[in-house]
A and B are shown apart, each in its own frame.
Chain A
């Protein structure tokens, strides 16, 4: 077992939220068309409230801290917050669009030993990237910020969210990442907004495009292994946890609402009204999330994909049942392996018209 796996296992056994994603603002200088956050949200936590929360997170054992937004750097106190996270010795990952990164910001992030900066880049072509971010000139400014961060020795990851409008640009972004010495990650998942608005799902890749992504060795590595049929269900899978959300990880929104994950919009309490650990330990919503094992899933517990599926309980929740299937992940499992999922079969039978009568077919007696 790797040290990282052992760390996660230990956090789980001690009930420690080892990873927290904290969005510090709703505000953003971009208007990315697929964003999960409502930028008109208000009631952001104050500096004092955030610093107080950080004290509580450190005391609770949080080690990995992701700072995001909105665009975190639009907060005037952003560096005060980051300095404080590092004084508390969090492992900090900053998610930013890098548009506001200048020499001073890049140097300070390096001085503060921020572990990693993750930046969304949708395309190597300005017209495509800027068309998604809705900020003219944003690709050039983002790339300038990335180069400054790299010049100061920061680890940078280019996150390439793939959707219909940039489907053919993943190779270009990958080349760009190699050129600037950044890591590259690809994510073909578009999630509904935290508000429950599902209109952004129209941007998702269709199955035919998803198939070409999953068959591309540059993107998925060993295609045969990635697309292999799932192994038969076993007890470990049935007794296993769906994911780390609510078990060793959680999300705190700019106004202090705590959720199991940024993709799991079931509110568990607000850190402006209750202490973080009280919510983490006692929230009925979190206790319910933690009670669920593979065998408890209504449809997926009989699905062979269960052990290898990327099933997201948050997406399932947004479809109406946190114990149910997530149709987007059913589709991915199907596209990946060519094997229909139990969730797809259940949906098909639920939407097929009931037969008007039984017709029995027998061979003629000779």
Chain B
């Protein structure tokens, strides 16, 4: 199995509201609302942690799901979000989005 890496796109606007992540695509101003599971994956998408680890460390820890099914769902979700330009999906680690470095510690 090839590892997958995911990183949040710097092109979108995003904010957590009541447990869900609200995201607006800069490309076409489409508004998305991620459910709690997808929000956990989005927040953990640092470009460095393999998706399988994200599922293991975050999704399976927080939700009562079977790991293999959770991973398949996560890959599908990541692909879907990548098609909308919300996530970057790669077989290699993804370097930090340029805007992330602007934030102060």
Interface set of A (CB-CB < 8 Å, partner B): 3-4, 6-7, 10-11, 13-14, 16, 18, 51, 55, 58, 61-63, 83-84, 86-92, 112-113, 115, 155
Contacts and interface: CB of A to CB of B under 8 A. Distances in A.
A81 to B, nearest CB: 11
Contacts of A113: 10-13, 26
Contacts of A10: 17-18, 20
Given A4-B31, A84-B103, A91 B17 contact: no
A86 B9 CA distance: 11
B94 to A, nearest CB: 17
Contacts, number: 63
A91 B18 contact: no
A115 B30 CA distance: 11
Given A11-B17, A63-B13, A115 B24 contact: yes
A61 B16 contact: yes
Given A61-B17, A63-B13, A63-B22, A87 B29 contact: no
Interface residues of B, number: 23
B18 A14 contact: yes
A87 B17 contact: no
Interface of B: 10-18, 20, 22, 24, 26, 29, 31-33, 99-104
The list of the 9 closest CB pairs from A to B, nearest first, reads A91-B13, A87-B102, A113-B26, A63-B15, A87-B99, A89-B14, A87-B103, A113-B11, A3-B31
Nearest to A86: B99
A86 B26 CA distance: 11
25 contacts: A4-B31, A6-B33, A10-B17, A10-B18, A13-B18, A14-B17, A16-B17, A51-B104, A55-B104, A62-B15, A83-B99, A84-B102, A84-B103, A86-B99, A87-B99, A87-B100, A89-B12, A89-B14, A90-B15, A91-B24, A112-B99, A113-B11, A115-B13, A115-B24, A155-B29
